[in-house]
Amino acid sequence: MTNDQTTRILPVQRLNIKGPTDKPLPEWWASERQSKTPEATAIEEAAELLRTSDIPVAFPTETVYGLGADATRSAAVQGIYKAKQRPSDNPLIVHVDSLAMLERLLNPGMSAADTTDTPLKSIPLIYHKLLSRFWPGPLTIILPNPSGSSLAKEVTSYLTTFGVRMPASPLARLLIHAADRPLAAPSANASTKPSPTTAQHVHHDLHGRIEVILDGGPCAVGVESTVVDGLSDPPVILRPGGIGIDDLRQCEGWENVQIAYNDGSHEVKEAPRAPGMKYRHYSPKARVVLFEPECSEEKVAKRVRKDMEDSAVGSHSVGIVRTRHWAPGLGLYEPAEKEKTLQRIQEAPTGSLVSFSVPLKDHVKDCFTSKPAYDCALGTDVGLIARGLFAALRAMDDEEVDVIYVEGLVAEHGDLHAAVMNRLRKAAGAELKV
């Protein structure tokens, strides 16, 4: 596919919002197909592409939008790396629609009929309590890749293990069921860019590189799944996400689960055990400066103003992403415009951008000038912050902001706070404690 070809967005919000509450997945799909709904037609087209094409399909999950391909075909998985322009030594997470599908992956050659009664037979016991509580959901587990595995070697990046999850999104599971294939599916963004939480984000990054995007509306969680490894002793968290460490520790065998991820943005030399561990991720075009939560607002505002007055960045526009404590616009707006600016910022919907001017002293010309700035409040609830983070970074890029200053959170190990800070640290070019 070339960049002059069209990438189509197919609406499927109804299926993503209202799942099969009273019938099994196969019956739900059979009913949709029989009714010949527009959403069923879109799912059928996407499923056919997944079975036969080497060009991946974008689809929503409860975490972020995924870029899916048949995990059993090398050419199809290579299509993911090509579309994302992603390093091929970064492993991919496999998505399944059921425990029975996972059991077949762990037992190459096993038929669907053989997995009906014992879907947990080949899954290590350490995971049983975890899966009963958190699947379907934003949790990825690491499993041994069996001898004679049907998974393409590009999925595991030649590791002896693979990561797998069952998404909570009914639409995601329906697509996997309709395709009748396990799907390798990293986030549907260009490599290193902020993860996509809407179909429009996907289109911005990948138009011309893929054929179809299934539009299920905004994602509910906003950050990727938690990745855990129960094959080690003690078990460890490889990537923080939608499931917190306190929740994990309530499950038998996971009382002593440890942290095994590095929040730094530097690269590591060894092969990553899970996505998001090696390379810089989630980065907008603008430079991101992350302030730790203990930084005083007064010092932060002084630093931002100094940066804007510096001759190296004086002509640049800036963005301010607020979470818990920073005042609107960090108080940097024109004093004469204070009331109007505050009103516009306070009346703006959570996660939206509000422009204002910052008065600055031009020390060379000995006069005052004004520079553009944007304020974005993500709210104080960590769920709102997680859902709005990537969208805010993308919105700042759309306004061609040069530097984004972000108010950090207290990273309580393993929970959603830690997941947000993990992504911010990997996006940031600098992390400051002032």
- Known binder of ligand: residue 282? yes
296 is in an annotated binding site: no
CA atoms within 13 A on the CB side of 365: 9
| Residue 140 counted as an annotated binding residue | no
266 labeled binding residue: no
3-class DSSP state of 96: coil
Give dist(CA 409, CA 102) in Å, integer.
Answer: 36
Q: Is 249 annotated as a binding residue?
A: no
DSSP string, 285-305: SSEEEEEPTTS-HHHHHHHHH
3-state secondary structure at position 247? helix
CA-only gyration radius of the chain, Å = 23
| 111 is an annotated ligand-binding site residue | no
Q: How far apart are CA 165 and CA 227, in angstroms?
A: 9
Structure tokens at 254: 């996971």
Are 203 and 9 within 8 A, CB to CB? yes
Find out whether 86 is annotated in a ligand binding site.
yes
Distances (CA, A) of 410 to 75, 223, 325, 381: 43, 17, 12, 13
- Residue whose entry in the numeric block shows the structure tokens 């108010």: 407
> Is 185 annotated as contributing to ligand binding?
yes
CB 55 within 8 A of CB 83: yes
158 is in an annotated binding site: no
> Are 157 and 90 contacting, i.e. CB atoms less than 8 angstroms apart?
yes
DSSP 409-428: ----TTSHHHHHHHHHHHH-
- According to the annotation, is 74 in a ligand binding site? no
Question: What distances in angstroms separate CA 86 from CA 24, 83, 138, 187, 344, one per listed residue?
Answer: 36, 8, 22, 11, 40
Annotated binding site for L-threonine: 95, 165, 185, 225
Return binding residues: 63, 86, 90, 95, 161, 165, 185, 187, 195, 225, 239, 282
Annotated binding site for ATP: 63, 86, 90, 161, 187, 195, 239, 282
